[in-house]
């Protein structure tokens, strides 16, 4: 029996953002078809060490993707010099039930979170969009930026973060990585208003409990991705946007988990029955943007279905290219 082990660099070497976006589209389509088994995630608390362990698992028949992502939250790890949110993806051969792959779950999460926003942007944003506003310069920001510049001819990116120094460092790094290669200008925005100037696409990826900007200042035909809210108390997107857009989600769970949706639904300005799964657009069962004057909004809280399909594609690519470390036992 053998297990293929892939670290972050292995994964980057064999799998592109473009491929990840395709994988996420396929995952969302399978979810909306109902052809997946994704149980509720299991949560195990280890109180004596102030830790929580989350187990996100499932099976996607169309991709023969079976496995579990283990995500741990151990705040005190910082004192030990290791990440406070370690994650590992375990892949299982659907034919035999034998574990066949282990990979960096932290990088996988970043990749598929950016990729699903890229998928939504590709489906919903205007084709001629050239200005992108990115709110948040933390660990998820790079994949969000890369995804959007992959699917649209972006010429300028305005980056805003409450921590100016972090935004400046992020912009410097991203210009070195993508600026010349993608012919895009990436700049720091001193204020939310500055970030929004002429923005055709907006992505928010923060842990804020309050709206990051005034929604009435957004272009009426913009596309917005809400990627940070995953609890009812978190709402980084102004209700004005949510209540004046065509609204889409990655999975129906987002309607029950995200404050960006829960709060306007409770206030009566958003009808939850009008919220559509993005996969239904891919299945041609609901429409996407109907014209270039419409505002669209996509909310994602993440799902094991995205992890599974993306991880399986990475695993297959690594095997074909003979990348990674094979362990026999």
The pLDDT score that the predictor gives to residue 83 is 86
Q: Edge to edge, what strands does the sheet with 201-204 contain? A: 185-188, 156-160, 131-135, 201-204, 223-226, 296-299, 246-249, 276-277
In this prediction, residues 35-62 reach a mean pLDDT of: 95
In this prediction, residues 88-103 reach a mean pLDDT of: 98
Tell whether the model's pLDDT for residue 229 goes beyond 90. no
Tell whether the model's pLDDT for residue 84 goes beyond 90. no
d(CA 157, CA 94): 42
What domains sit in the chain, N to C, each tagged with a CATH number? 2-108+305-328 (3.30.1780.10), 113-303 (3.40.50.720)
Q: What is the largest CA-CA distance in the chain?
A: 60
The pLDDT score that the predictor gives to residue 180 is 87
**88 CB contacts (<8 Å, ≥6 apart)?**
69, 70, 102, 103, 104, 105
In this prediction, residues 312-321 reach a mean pLDDT of: 98
What's the pLDDT tens digit per position in 162-188?
999 999 999 999 999 998 888 999 999
Tokens of 200: 């055709």
230 pLDDT tier (thresholds 50, 70, 90) = confident
Look at residues 144, 118, 112, 145 and name the one whose alpha carbon lies nearest to residue 311. 112
d(CA 14, CA 16): 7
Tokens of 183: 């012919």
Q: What is the DSSP string of 207-276?
A: --SS-SS-GGGS-TT-EEEE-S--STT---S-HHHHHTSEEEESSTHHHHH-HHHHHHHHHTSS-GGG-E
In this prediction, residues 281-287 reach a mean pLDDT of: 97
DSSP 40: P
Pairing of strands 87-92, 99-104: antiparallel
Tell whether the model's pLDDT for residue 53 goes beyond 90. yes
In this prediction, residues 112-130 reach a mean pLDDT of: 98
78 pLDDT tier (thresholds 50, 70, 90) = confident
The pLDDT score that the predictor gives to residue 85 is 87
**Total residues belonging to the chain:** 329
In this prediction, residues 219-229 reach a mean pLDDT of: 96
């Amino acid at each position: 029996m053998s297990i293929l082990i892939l670290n972050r660099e292995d994964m980057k070497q064999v799998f592109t953002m473009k491929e990840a976006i395709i994988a996420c589209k396929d995952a969302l389509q399978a979810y909306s078809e109902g052809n997946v088994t994704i149980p509720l995630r299991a949560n195990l608390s280890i109180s004596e060490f102030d830790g929580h362990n989350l187990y996100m698992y499932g099976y996607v028949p169309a991709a023969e993707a079976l496995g579990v992502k283990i995500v741990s939250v151990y705040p005190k790890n910082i004192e030990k010099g290791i990440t406070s949110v370690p994650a590992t993806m375990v892949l299982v051969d659907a034919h035999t039930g034998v574990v066949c792959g282990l990979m960096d779950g932290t990088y996988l999460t970043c990749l598929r979170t950016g990729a699903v926003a890229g998928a939504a942007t590709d489906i919903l944003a205007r084709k001629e969009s050239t200005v992108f506003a990115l709110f948040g310069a933390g660990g998820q920001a790079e994949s969000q930026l890369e995804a959007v510049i992959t699917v649209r001819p972006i010429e300028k990116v305005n980056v805003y973060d409450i921590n100016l120094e972090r935004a400046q460092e992020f912009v410097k790094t991203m210009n070195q990585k993508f600026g010349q290669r993608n012919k895009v200008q990436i700049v720091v925005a001193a204020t939310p208003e500055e970030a929004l100037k002429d923005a055709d696409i907006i992505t928010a990826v923060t842990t804020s409990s309050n709206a990051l900007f005034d929604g009435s200042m957004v272009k009426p035909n913009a596309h917005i991705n809400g990627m940070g809210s995953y609890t009812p108390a978190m709402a980084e997107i102004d209700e004005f946007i949510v209540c004046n857009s065509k609204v889409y989600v990655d999975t129906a769970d987002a309607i029950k988990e995200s404050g960006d949706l829960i709060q306007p639904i409770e206030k009566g300005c958003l009808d939850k029955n009008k919220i559509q799964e993005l996969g239904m657009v891919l299945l041609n069962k609901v429409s996407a943007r109907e014209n270039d004057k419409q505002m669209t909004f996509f909310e994602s809280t993440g799902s094991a279905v995205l992890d599974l399909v993306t991880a399986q594609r990475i695993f297959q690519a690594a095997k074909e290219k003979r990348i990674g470390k094979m362990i026999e036992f």
